Copies of this chain bind each other. A is one copy, B any other.
Amino acid sequence: MPSRNLLARELSVMLKAIAHPDRIRIIEELKLGALDVSALSVNLGVTPTRISQHLALLKAHRLVEERRNGRHHHYSLAERDLAEWILDGVPFIERRVASDIAAQQMIAVAKKLWRDDDPKTAN
């Protein structure tokens, strides 16, 4: 099945194109509607240059489309479903982050107990 390999390769390049915090935020923003570079810049707190660079990359991968209106370049999602799909991944992350925090708290508690028990570190 070479087609499986082909699809896996294509999927991996697309995921790499998406896998940047700024670009994920951009996709999330565009889910609500088209925006221009400046708007994205203030919304994300990122310089226009970087936004433009991210958008150029996303456009090269046909993940967003450009529509020029005067000097404003409005970008929108090339595929609506795509954004939905990405956002569907968020719950996994939320669970993950939540359990990370829980784990860290457990570790902190364990360390405290350990400290209080250990005559070497007790003062």
Which residues of A are in contact with B by a Cβ distance under 8 Å?
Answer: 4-16, 18-25, 28, 62, 79, 81-82, 85-86, 88-90, 92-94, 96-97
Taking a contact as CB atoms under 8 Å apart, the answer to whether B97 and A6 are in contact is yes
Main secondary structure of the interface of A (DSSP, over half): helix
Give Cα A122 to B62, complex, Å: 36
Give Cα A6 to B96, complex, Å: 12
Give Cα A6 to B79, complex, Å: 25
Residue of B nearest to A13 (CB): B19
State the Cβ distance, A105 to closest chain B Cβ, in Å: 17
Chain B residue contacts of A89, Cβ below 8 A: 11, 14-15, 85
Give Cα A18 to B18, complex, Å: 12
